[in-house]
Amino acid sequence: MSEELYDVIIIGGGPAGLTASIYTSRQGLRTLIIERKQLGGRAWGPHTIENFPGFPMGINGTDLMEKFISQSRKFGVEFKEETFVGLTDMGEAKMVMTRKGIYLSKAVILTIGLQRKSLSLPGETEYKGRGVCYCAICDGPFFKDMPVAVVGAGKEAVEDALTLSRTSSKVYAIPGSKGYGEGFEEELEELAQLSNVEILEGTDIASIEGEDVVTGLTLKNGPTGKLDVNGVFLILENVGTGSMIKDAGIETDTGGCIQVDENQETNLKGIYAAGDCACSGMQVVTAAGDGGKAGLAAFRFVRSLKS
Amino acid sequence: MVKVEVYFSPVCPHCPGARKLVTEVVSQFGGSVEVEEVNTYTKEGMERGMANQVMAVPTVFVDGERKFVGFPFSRQDLEDSIRQAQGDSP
**Domains defined for chain A, CATH in brackets:** 5-116+238-306 (3.50.50.60), 119-235 (3.50.50.60)
pLDDT of the residue at A65: 94
Q: Cis omega (within 30 of 0) on the bond before B16? A: no
Query: How far apart are alpha carbons A275 and A16 in whole angstroms?
Result: 5
Within 13 Å, how many C-alpha atoms sit on residue A159's CB side?
9
Query: How far apart are alpha carbons A287 and A20 in whole angstroms?
Result: 10
B2-88: CATH topology: Glutaredoxin (3.40.30)
CB contact under 8 A, B16 and A38: no
Query: How far apart are alpha carbons A6 and A98 in whole angstroms?
Result: 15
CA angle A81, A86, A92 (to 5 degrees): 100
Least confident of A81-85, A298-302, B4-8: A81-85
Query: How far apart are alpha carbons A207 and A209 in whole angstroms?
Result: 6
pLDDT tens digits along A7-60: 999 999 999 999 999 999 999 999 999 998 889 988 887 677 888 999 998 888
- When scoring B11, B53, B55 by the number of chain A Cβ atoms within 10 A, the one with the most, hence best to mutate, is B55
* The overall pTM is greater than 0.80: no
| Res. A181: pLDDT tops 60 | yes
Query: How does DSSP assign chain B, residue by residue?
Result: -EEEEEEE-TT-TTHHHHHHHHHHHHHHTGGGEEEEEEETTSHHHHHHHHHTT--SSSEEEETTEEEEESS---HHHHHHHHHHHHHH--
Alpha-carbon Rg of chain A, whole angstroms? 22
User: Out of B9, B55, B71, whose CB is closest to A130?
Assistant: B55
pLDDT tens digits along B1-38: 999 999 998 877 678 778 888 998 999 998 899 999 99
CA distance A82 to chain B (A): 9
CB contact under 8 A, B74 and A130: no
ipTM of this predicted complex? 0.80
CA distance A6 to chain B (A): 24
Q: Cis omega (within 30 of 0) on the bond before A223? A: no
CB contact under 8 A, B40 and A231: no
CB contact under 8 A, A139 and B54: no
Residue A151 vs residue A38, higher pLDDT: A151
> Is the distance from CB of A101 to CB of A118 less than 8 angstroms?
no
Q: What is the 8-class DSSP label of residue A37?
A: S
Nearest to A160 by CA among A188, A184, A136, A185: A136
Specify the pairing of strand A31-34 against strand A170-176.
unpaired
Residue A42 vs residue A3, higher pLDDT: A42
A137 interface with B at CB cutoff 8 Å: yes
Residue A139 vs residue A72, higher pLDDT: A72
CB proximity under 8 Å: A 11-40 to B: 36-38
pLDDT of the residue at B27: 92
Name the percent of chain A in helix, strand, coil, to the closest 5. Answer: 30, 30, 40
B75 interface with A at CB cutoff 8 Å: yes
> Is the distance from CB of A114 to CB of A240 less than 8 angstroms?
yes
> Is the distance from CB of A164 to CB of A134 less than 8 angstroms?
no
Query: How far apart are alpha carbons A234 and A124 in whole angstroms?
Result: 9
Cβ contacts of B57 on chain A, cutoff 8 Å: 138-139
Query: How far apart are alpha carbons A184 and A159 in whole angstroms?
Result: 10
* Average pLDDT estimate for A61-71: 94
Mean pLDDT value across chain A: 89
Cβ contacts of B53 on chain A, cutoff 8 Å: 130, 212-213
